[in-house]
Amino acid sequence: MVFNGLRRRQLRPGFTFIELIIAVAILAVLALIVAPNAIRYLNDAKVSTTVTNLQTIKSNIDDYIRRVNKAPQSLNDLIRRPADLTERQWHGPYLEAKEVPNDGWGNPFVYKIVPNAHPPYQLYSWGINGPGSPEEEWLWP
């Protein structure tokens, strides 16, 4: 049987190899364009989350200092009452979470008591490269 000058068995459904190569090339070009923007947006979201968490924790530490008259020994003191304080002295919990949150990259925040300083502590995140990163990468509240 002839169909538009071609035999029926010569008509095959599907794509040719060249058509598939062109489609894959187009998808690769689109991925190369979209991927850097997606990575940048994800990193920006992690930075934003980290800074927001740092500001919240800083506010809670300052509240703790105002009520207890000393800085917490660790960030866990914001959630669980330290053994050296009574419930009446503590006035907590200061964070509603069951655990101190981590930064956007999953690393714990750095909290250090600094005597004779104002404020009497340091609070920061190591940033995108994690522990041991240079100070210019750290994120502060």
The answer to whether residue 118 scores a pLDDT higher than 70 is yes
Give the pLDDT confidence of 76-104 residue by residue, as tens digits: 999 999 999 999 999 989 999 899 999 99
Mean pLDDT of 17-35: 91
CATH of domain 16-137: 3.30.700.10
Mean pLDDT of 42-69: 96
Confidence of residue 38 (pLDDT cuts 50, 70, 90): confident
- Sign (positive/negative) of CA torsion 51, 54, 55, 56? positive
Q: Which residues pair with 53 in a beta bridge?
A: none
pLDDT number for residue 4: 58
The answer to whether residue 7 scores a pLDDT higher than 60 is no
Q: What is the distance between the alpha carbons of residues 91 and 127, in angstroms, rounded to a whole number?
A: 32
